[in-house]
């Protein structure tokens, strides 16, 4: 009856082990489950796992547990993790069979030793030294390979000191113990292979995202940095919200899977900019297209100056012929005043071309006045035209920034492209919200955003976080062609006003300030001169 009971307990524990492995995505937890289960079923006092290194040149320590000694407090875990790789080959190129774990890895055959101090097959000098340091006696040992279903070596599982009666008496591991260890290692290898496969797929996917952002970066240096920095702000703010215990955000929590999903959304939030024309994205002045057309206007002013100077010289010559020096002086003064006016108007238009936070009505009217003040004849034409073309007047009269309404629409269209691109991806279940998060960062709490005009209650917390991160990065960025980077105090002032006006979520802004997310990001990414807020 006892034997049957033990058998049922064994089956139950193996089932629990298999279920736990299938659910676990964290590598450290997975290895912990393996070691603790193996120790329990074989009555071992200690267990260690070594995994093959990235280049398959040796084994690296990853996890250990001892029932009698706190390995962490003894400092052994830290030493082991930094001890380097146990090489598969010696310096002369021969296989390293002196180390028992490496031997098992090379042969993929288990080794069962009754007393490691009594065998000469392997070099246990390191084991003896550690035992002496911590006051322990390693005796029996079983080491089994971890090989997946494709025959690929992943590592080895090492169990030490079988003590089945619980009285402290160490005995050799039985063949049954060895079989159990091999079975557990095999199951864990499959789970570990799946874990590595998921990691590889995630790495490929993230590399693809970085490739898209790099394409945007090389297309325009003014947006590539933005794509990389917004996730830094967004993830910091999301983590701060995760810590909130009271108020409207108290129910917001993130698992590791939630964090990863949000990270992907943040990285992809502007992927649609790959479709935006460079001359619009990089428009640093109002008249810039492929080149800055202010130079064409400068040329026209130069022609006007030349004509005035020619007129002055002709008048001087005529007056000299007629002996009218007094008239000449008066005429010269008038022409010089015209030249000063030309220079003043040219300087004014050049200043208008730079763009500003807000262009006054008086300045806009002056642009129209200048356009009519100087009539000129284009090459091959007989009828004088206004000094500025309709397109030039439209651009120079832009009220704020450097973009016309049509160009602003082109820029805004990037979010529609982003949504369209992301909707075309067959997202797995754990990334199903990426499109909603990334596609909502230009919406507003009051419903006046774009492209869908969503209101706050229609948006996820993650989308609202991205909205703040996107704006804050743009305010503080040093690589924009049309403005200087703002200091933290100025940026926070603008965000506060936006929170009061229904643009961004006031509760999230409060967390952004109270948890000093702005300062944490600023110290990592901004110039020291910008860090003027506590």
Q: What letter does residue 68 receive in the DSSP assignment?
A: S
Closest CA to 140 of 163, 168, 109: 163
pLDDT value of position 142? 97
pLDDT value of position 140? 96
Q: Residue 488 pLDDT more than 70?
A: yes
pLDDT value of position 24? 64
Residue of higher predicted confidence among 7 and 524: 524
Q: How many residues does the chain have?
A: 534
Q: What letter does residue 95 receive in the DSSP assignment?
A: B
E-state strands within 349-404: none
Per-residue model confidence as pLDDT tens digits over 410-465: 666 778 888 999 999 999 898 999 999 999 999 999 999 989 999 988 999 999 99
- Residue 120 and residue 97: Cα distance in Å, rounded? 12
Q: Which residues contact 47 (CB under 8 A, 6 or more apart)?
A: 35, 36, 38, 39, 64, 65, 157, 158, 159, 160
Q: Which residues contact 249 (CB under 8 A, 6 or more apart)?
A: 241, 461, 507, 508, 511
Per-residue model confidence as pLDDT tens digits over 83-116: 778 999 988 889 999 999 999 999 999 999 999 9
Over range 461-484, report the average pLDDT.
85
- Residue 132 and residue 405: Cα distance in Å, rounded? 78
- Residue 237 and residue 235: Cα distance in Å, rounded? 5
- Residue 459 and residue 437: Cα distance in Å, rounded? 8
Residue 305 main-chain phi, psi, to 5 deg: -60, -40
- Residue 408 and residue 286: Cα distance in Å, rounded? 12
pLDDT value of position 326? 54
pLDDT value of position 459? 94
pLDDT value of position 194? 83
CB 336 within 8 A of CB 344: no
Over range 394-414, report the average pLDDT.
74
pLDDT value of position 203? 87
pLDDT > 90 fraction of the chain, expressed in percent and rounded: 41
454-459 contacts: CB < 8 A, separation 24 or more?
456/505
Over range 472-477, report the average pLDDT.
90
Q: Residue 8 pLDDT more than 70?
A: no
Residue that the structure tokens 């990592």 belong to: 524
Q: Sorting pLDDT into bands at 50, 70 and 90, what band is 299?
A: confident
Over range 394-423, report the average pLDDT.
78
pLDDT value of position 22? 67
pLDDT value of position 260? 93
pLDDT value of position 480? 63
For the four alpha carbons of 425, 430, 432 and 437, in that order, the dihedral sign comes to negative
Least confident residue range of 122-126, 248-252, 270-274: 270-274
Helix/strand/coil for 469 = helix
Per-residue model confidence as pLDDT tens digits over 193-239: 888 888 888 889 888 888 887 777 676 666 557 888 999 999 999 99
- Residue 472 and residue 233: Cα distance in Å, rounded? 8
Over range 350-376, report the average pLDDT.
82
Residue that the structure tokens 């090489």 belong to: 87
Helix/strand/coil for 230 = helix
What average pLDDT does the structure give for the chain? Answer: 85
Least confident residue range of 202-216, 266-280, 396-410: 396-410
pLDDT value of position 157? 95
pLDDT value of position 141? 97
Per-residue model confidence as pLDDT tens digits over 29-88: 888 888 998 998 899 999 999 999 888 899 999 888 998 888 877 677 777 777 778 999
Least confident residue range of 344-353, 385-394, 437-446, 496-505: 385-394
DSSP letters of 435-468? HHHHHTTT--TBS--SSS--BGGGS-HHHHHHHH
pLDDT value of position 87? 93
Residue of higher predicted confidence among 291 and 494: 494
């Amino acid at each position: 009856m006892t034997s049957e009971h033990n058998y049922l307990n064994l089956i139950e524990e193996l089932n629990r082990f298999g279920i736990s492995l299938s659910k676990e995505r964290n590598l450290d937890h997975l290895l912990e489950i393996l070691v603790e289960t193996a120790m329990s079923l074989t009555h071992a006092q200690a267990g260690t796992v070594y995994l093959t290194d990235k280049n398959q040149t040796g084994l690296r320590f990853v996890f250990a547990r001892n029932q009698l000694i706190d390995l962490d407090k003894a400092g052994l875990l830290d030493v082991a993790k930094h001890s380097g790789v146990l090489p598969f080959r010696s310096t002369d190129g021969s296989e390293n069979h002196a180390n028992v774990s490496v031997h098992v890895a090379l042969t993929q055959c288990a080794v069962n030793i009754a007393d490691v101090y009594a065998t000469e097959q392997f070099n246990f000098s390191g084991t003896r030294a550690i035992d002496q340091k911590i006051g322990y006696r390693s005796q029996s040992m079983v080491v089994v390979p971890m090989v997946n279903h494709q025959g690929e070596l992943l590592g080895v599982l090492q169990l030490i000191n079988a003590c089945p009666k619980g009285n402290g008496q160490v005995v050799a591991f039985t063949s049954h113990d060895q079989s159990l260890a091999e079975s557990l290692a095999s199951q864990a290898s499959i789970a570990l292979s799946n874990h590595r496969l998921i990691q590889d797929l995630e790495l490929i996917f993230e590399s693809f995202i970085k490739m898209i952002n790099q394409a945007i970066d090389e297309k325009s240096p003014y947006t590539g940095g933005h794509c990389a920095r917004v996730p830094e702000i967004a993830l910091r703010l999301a983590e701060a919200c995760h810590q909130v215990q009271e108020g409207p955000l108290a129910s917001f929590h993130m698992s590791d899977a939630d964090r990863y999903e949000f990270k992907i959304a943040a990285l992809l939030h502007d992927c649609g900019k790959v479709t935006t024309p460079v001359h619009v994205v990089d428009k640093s002045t109002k008249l810039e297209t492929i080149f800055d057309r202010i130079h064409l206007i400068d040329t026209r002013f130069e022609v006007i100056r030349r004509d005035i100077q020619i007129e002055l010289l002709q008048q001087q010559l005529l007056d000299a012929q007629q002996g009218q020096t007094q008239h000449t002086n008066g005429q010269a003064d008038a022409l010089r005043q015209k030249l000063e006016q030309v220079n003043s108007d040219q300087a004014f238009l050049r200043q208008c071309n730079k763009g500003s936070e807000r262009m006054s009505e008086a300045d806009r009217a002056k642009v129209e006045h200048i356009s009519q003040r100087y009539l000129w004849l284009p090459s091959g034409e007989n009828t004088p035209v206004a000094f500025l073309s309709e397109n030039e007047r439209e651009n120079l009269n832009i009220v704020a920034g450097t973009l016309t309404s049509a160009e602003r629409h082109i820029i805004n269209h990037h979010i529609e492209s982003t949504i369209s691109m992301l909707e075309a991806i067959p997202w797995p279940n754990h990334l199903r919200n990426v499109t909603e998060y990334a596609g909502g960062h230009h919406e507003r709490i009051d419903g006046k955003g774009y492209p869908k005009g969503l209101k706050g209650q229609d948006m996820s917390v993650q989308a609202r976080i991205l909205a703040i991160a996107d704006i804050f990065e743009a305010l503080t960025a040093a690589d924009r062609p049309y403005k200087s980077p703002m200091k933290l105090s100025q940026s926070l002032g603008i965000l506060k006003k936006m929170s009061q006006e229904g643009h961004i979520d006031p509760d999230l802004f409060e967390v952004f300030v109270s948890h000093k997310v702005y300062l944490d990001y600023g110290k990592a990414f901004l110039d020291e001169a910008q860090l003027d807020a506590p």
